[in-house]
């Protein structure tokens, strides 16, 4: 894909906004935006962040490993990155 990317970051005292634009031949072909609100990092906020969606986390991990098992049972082989040998990072 012959695309370039344009990022914009906007910080305020209570928010963060991030925009990403994919450009192809100088024209936007895709845009994505993220808006976050800052909250105090007190005990209750940490608890909500940690326990807010444990079932979704478990579900996603389960789905990843289920798919890996399914591929393994079908005989799929793992091929590492061709540019990285053992001991390289």
Residue 24 CB partners (closer than 8 Å, separation 6+): 1, 2, 3, 4
Q: What does pTM read for this prediction? A: 0.49
CA dihedral sign of residues 2, 21, 53, 46: positive
For residue 1, what pLDDT is reported?
A: 65
pLDDT tens digits, 1-57:
689 999 999 999 999 999 999 999 999 999 999 999 988 889 998 888 778 777 888
Residue 48 dihedral angles phi and psi, to the nearest 5°: -65, -40
Q: Where are the domains of the chain?
A: 1-38, 42-76
pLDDT tens digits, 49-72:
778 777 888 889 999 999 999 999
Residue 74 CB partners (closer than 8 Å, separation 6+): none
């Amino acid at each position: 894909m012959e695309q370039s990317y344009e990022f914009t970051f906007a910080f305020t005292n209570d928010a963060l906004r991030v925009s990403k634009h994919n450009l192809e031949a100088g024209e936007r072909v895709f845009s994505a935006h993220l808006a976050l609100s800052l909250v105090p990092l007190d005990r209750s906020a940490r608890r909500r962040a940690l326990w807010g969606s444990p079932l979704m986390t478990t579900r996603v991990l389960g789905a990843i490993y289920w798919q890996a098992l399914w591929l393994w049972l079908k005989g799929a082989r793992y091929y590492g990155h061709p540019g990285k040998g053992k001991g390289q990072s």
